[in-house]
Structure 1
Amino acid sequence: MTADLSLHLVTDPVLCGERGVVETVRLAVAGGVRVVQLRDKTATDAEVVEQLVELAAVIDGRALLLVDDRVDAAVAARERGARVDGVHVGQNDADVRWARARLGSDALIGLTANRPDQLAAVSALPAGTVDYLGVGVVRPTRTKPDHPPALGVDGFRALAAATPLPCVAIGGIGPDDVEALRDAGAAGVAVVSALCAADDPEAEAADLARRWRAGIAPRVLSIAGSDPSGAPASRPT
């Protein structure tokens, strides 16, 4: 698998409003989002499976599709033929080693980390358990009111420099943060409100993608393995 981690959309059903998650995702992917993470803490596993199936059809291979925490839902959606590329797990979510065992070596698996001790714990895991880290929050954000103290760009830079894993910045990120975070060592940025609450998610995604690409060559993450879902091995770059 070759994964372009540059621009993530993390969904929020409340912020998407009447437009809905599926239409928001469709527009955001058209604008340049490369990774979509379905996050819906209130939905049942069965509802998450249905959402994954629908999102996979809308994305149609143009971006990677992850789900927050719900490993079994990812497996069930794959069994229904949906292209679900992996999961992102938080520190209090499913055990990342179990997630890797359930989804296989081809899956893209991210783990939240925002402290040096969490980075140390990741380094003790078997190689290949985690593919990237979600590091934040960078700025205070209302989407996670219980978040730890905001890192800022300098705090993100310090954590990213302390691990060999690609780090995706998340938490309160706006357009003006993108280039600074890229220069601080981010492999990508993940946004929620900036796209879910946007009047025009396609235009906003295009602007974020343009800011990310300014003056740099594309950065991708290669992951070895076969795809148990039967989907093609190639991924967007």
Structure 2
Amino acid sequence: MNNKIDKAIYLVTDDSKMDFDTLYEKVILALKGGINILQLREKKSSSKVFYEHALKMKTLCKKYNVPLIINDRLDIAQAVDADGVHLGQNDLPLTIARKILGPKKIIGISARTVEDALNAQNNGATYLGVGAVFPTNTKEDAKVISEKEFNTIRSFVSIPIIGIGGITLDNASEIINRGVDGIAVVSAILDQKNPKEATKSLKHLFDIV
């Protein structure tokens, strides 16, 4: 899995932005553009609808050999045999999730302090989602992490770090320069007229920074 995280474009979906059919078509274009990981994040859907959407995305991601990560919902991840789950600090404890999913599944953990990051690494997290690195409208409760704190986390952990929060084509180089293993984006791909080209442009930044 680590090779999927190295220089990774990590696309996170947002069910408040558009209907699922529109999202599905945009994800296809993003996959063609070269995203490395897809996280399905649905805050408004019922469990039944979330499950149905996850099944469709699992089939699609498998076609492109891209891991599907389910946001928060371990039950949905299990139900569709997703590649993994992403958990926040207030979600199911990592140790329990790892026990349930086993050693091979991907488990990402949101972290904004060194303590969070070290706990996640020590308890078997596959990668960290660290942020918000910039102000963001996608997640209203996201607080921006200082560059100092970010760099401290980077120096203390050895597992991959995905920068997340407010990342656009215009500012992505700044966070890539801090030594992240990947960048998580929503609007930078899904809000663009051509998600395929937007993805390619973001991937290119890893080659020139």
TM above 0.5, yes or no, is: yes
The answer as to whether partners of 2:31 and 2:64 remain within 8 angstroms in 1 is: no
* Greater relative contact order structure (CA < 8 Å, 6+ sep): 1
What runs of 5+ residues in structure 1 fail to find an aligned partner? 79-83, 216-237
| Aligned equivalents of 2:20, 2:41: Cα separation in 1 | 17
Residue 183 of structure 2 aligns to which amino acid in structure 1?
V
> What is the alpha-carbon root mean square deviation over aligned residues?
1.9
> Structure 1 stretch 28-37 or stretch 195-204: which is displaced more?
195-204
TM-superposed CA distance for 1:213, in Å, is 2.7
Residue 17 of structure 2 aligns to which amino acid in structure 1?
L
Task: Name the CA shift for 1:19/1:194 in 2 (closer, same or farther; >3 Å).
Answer: farther
| Aligned equivalents of 1:168, 1:110: Cα separation in 2 | 9
| Aligned equivalents of 2:21, 2:186: Cα separation in 1 | 15
- Please say if 1:187 is aligned against 2:178: no
The answer as to whether partners of 2:118 and 2:156 remain within 8 angstroms in 1 is: no
| Aligned equivalents of 2:15, 2:121: Cα separation in 1 | 34
- Please say if 1:21 is aligned against 2:23: yes
Aligned counterpart, 2:145: 151
| Aligned equivalents of 1:107, 1:18: Cα separation in 2 | 26
- Please say if 1:105 is aligned against 2:77: no
Aligned counterpart, 2:36: 34
Show the 5 A alignment for 1:108-127.
Answer: 108-125=106-123
Aligned counterpart, 1:234: none
**Count, aligned residues:** 206
The answer as to whether partners of 1:33 and 1:205 remain within 8 angstroms in 2 is: yes
Q: Structure 1 length as normaliser, TM-score?
A: 0.80
- Please say if 1:162 is aligned against 2:161: no
Could you tell me the percent identity over the aligned residues? 31
| Aligned equivalents of 2:153, 2:192: Cα separation in 1 | 30
> Structure 1 stretch 52-61 or stretch 108-117: which is displaced more?
52-61
Pick aligned residue for 1:72 from 71, 75, 80? 75
